[in-house]
């Protein structure tokens, strides 16, 4: 799987594909990170972002497998839907109920989830957290499912806020299974309860796509204060309205690049069998972010 010698034409007919499947994907830094890593380790692989409408997902996954792709990542809105395409799931993907990494193996298509591990690593590196503190999570999609597992593994009390109370309650139950000392779901429509939960939280996490195009979050999430931490899983743009409001009020604000790099490194190891050059991946992503 080594690349041709320096100066030789590349890519070649032997170059293998890794793809990101999402809708949209134009903002993604994953191609930048993975291609920088492949180049450093001289792997004959190329990573491309493919915009895939939801009703085309199954066909695209099947086509990638038939074409000899070695793996893929999934982003919004495909992380839960792609589970049905997998012949095998890792224990982590089965627990979370969502897949962000595919690998074509001799035993068939394997679905994995590296998001929870990536977020946990990022939180440990970036945020001073202590067991028993409260974390409020907005969202109930595939990214949110991984996030509640990460928060539970940090020994935090978890409050899940969602537009559908049944979905929020389901994610709270997932947090409990993953080890959270306490977890509950809250209906986003109950703004008084949401406001109370947010006001008493150490960590407030946005696990929705809101903010990618400059949208505000629901009002209580723009009322953080000093001593709190805002963490947005969005990394592009690096400053969403949620993070801007948090920092203006004296709270910490962190975008999701650390999580992106962490989950990418775990996926890279699954595809290549090699440890990812994390510093190279992070630096490549930062160059793009700071250029905008």
Extract the tokens encoding 56: 């085309």
Task: Encode pLDDT of 13-43 as tens digits.
Answer: 999 999 999 999 999 999 999 999 999 999 9
Give the CA-trace dihedral at 264, 266, 269, 275, to 10 degrees.
90
Counting residues of the chain whose pLDDT is more than 90, the rounded percentage is 96
- C-alpha span between 162 and 194 (Å, rounded): 10
Extract the tokens encoding 43: 């792997």
5 confidence band (pLDDT: 50, 70, 90): confident
Active centre residues (catalytic) = 79
pLDDT at residue 166 above 80? Answer: yes
Ordered by where they begin, the domains of the chain are 16-113+259-291 (3.40.50.10860), 116-255 (3.40.50.720)
Task: Encode pLDDT of 273-284 as tens digits.
Answer: 999 999 999 999
The pLDDT, as a whole number, for residue 290 is: 87
Task: Encode pLDDT of 183-228 as tens digits.
Answer: 999 999 999 999 999 999 999 999 999 999 999 999 999 999 999 9
Sequence-distant contacts of 74-77: CB under 8 A, at least 24 apart: 74/20, 74/21, 74/22, 74/99, 74/100, 74/101, 74/102, 74/142, 75/20, 75/21, 75/22, 75/25, 75/28, 75/100, 76/22, 76/23, 76/141, 76/142, 76/143, 76/209, 77/22, 77/23, 77/141, 77/142
Task: Encode pLDDT of 39-64 as tens digits.
Answer: 999 999 999 999 999 999 999 999 99
């Amino acid at each position: 799987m080594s690349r041709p010698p320096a100066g030789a034409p590349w890519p070649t007919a032997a170059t293998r594909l890794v793809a990101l499947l999402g809708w949209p994907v134009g903002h993604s830094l994953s191609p930048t990170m993975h291609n920088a890593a492949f180049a450093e380790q001289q792997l004959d692989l190329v990573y491309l972002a493919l915009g895939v409408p939801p009703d085309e997902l199954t066909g695209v996954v099947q086509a990638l497998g038939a074409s000899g792709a070695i793996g893929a990542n999934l982003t919004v809105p495909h992380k839960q839907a792609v589970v049905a395409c997998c012949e095998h799931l890792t224990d982590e993907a089965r627990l979370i109920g969502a897949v962000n990494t595919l690998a074509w193996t001799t035993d068939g298509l394997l679905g994995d989830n590296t998001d929870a591990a990536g977020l946990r690593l990022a939180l440990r590196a970036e945020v001073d957290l202590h067991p028993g503190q409260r974390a409020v999570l907005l969202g109930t999609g595939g990214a949110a499912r991984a996030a509640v597992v990460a928060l539970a593994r940090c020994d935090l009390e978890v409050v899940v806020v969602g537009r559908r109370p049944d979905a929020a309650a389901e994610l709270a139950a997932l947090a409990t299974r993953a080890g959270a000392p306490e977890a509950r779901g809250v209906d986003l429509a109950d703004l008084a309860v949401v406001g109370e939960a947010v006001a008493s939280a150490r960590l407030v996490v946005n696990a929705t796509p809101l903010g990618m195009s400059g949208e505000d979050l629901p009002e209580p999430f723009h009322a953080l204060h000093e001593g709190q931490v805002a963490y947005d899983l969005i990394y592009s743009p690096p400053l969403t309205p949620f993070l801007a409001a948090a920092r203006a009020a004296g709270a910490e604000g962190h975008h999701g690049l650390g999580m992106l790099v962490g989950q990418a490194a775990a996926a890279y190891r699954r595809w290549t069998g090699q440890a990812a050059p994390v510093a190279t991946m992070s630096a490549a992503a930062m160059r793009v972010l700071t250029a905008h």
